Structure 1
């Protein structure tokens, strides 16, 4: 099982988060909004590229220049709208090619995931 955790520094505090608890990460200028399974939204003081390097688990995939998602939290891929839908109902636009997205999802789902409890 993969129990990887990352250290997220925000403006007011630092938090240790299990990668499996991350639902999505979205770029917001020079910051990244990280949404967790517990409903928390953390604002990290680093780029999305750096957050992705820190996470470095196959089940969190980059779907656009400004978004990462946890494949275990995906419920639908809306091809016509070019959006993925997460278990919490949030929809995020993707820009990667359809086949690339499907490959990333397949690869991510094949990885052991330590916490599959519903959101």
Structure 2
């Protein structure tokens, strides 16, 4: 039985790397088990590599275009960080410390450190409540 998995969203470089390796390793270990799957696996591997390289180039272009911006606080910071909620959930599930995730978001998104930490903690608490 063949299955396809995708990860989509606005991923930071770290989450892009994590998603790429997750899918690539799954493909390398589980993709070869059928006659048709043997050939399809090669297509998926090449497709994943091309998509990964294109995404890394896009991340590089985005960094070059953006000039330093003022630090966002409060509700402004939350609205900037909201599209990256999935990234935070992935990092928390991988065992990253909330403080490290918040520090990473401050550097990438230009938000106040306290607001980033509140954002991450809110997501962490929601994840714990759901478990």
> TM-score, with normalisation over the residues of structure 1?
0.32
Answer with 1 or 2: which has the greater Rg. Answer: 2
Q: Which has more strand, going by share of residues?
A: 1
> TM-score, with normalisation over the residues of structure 2?
0.30
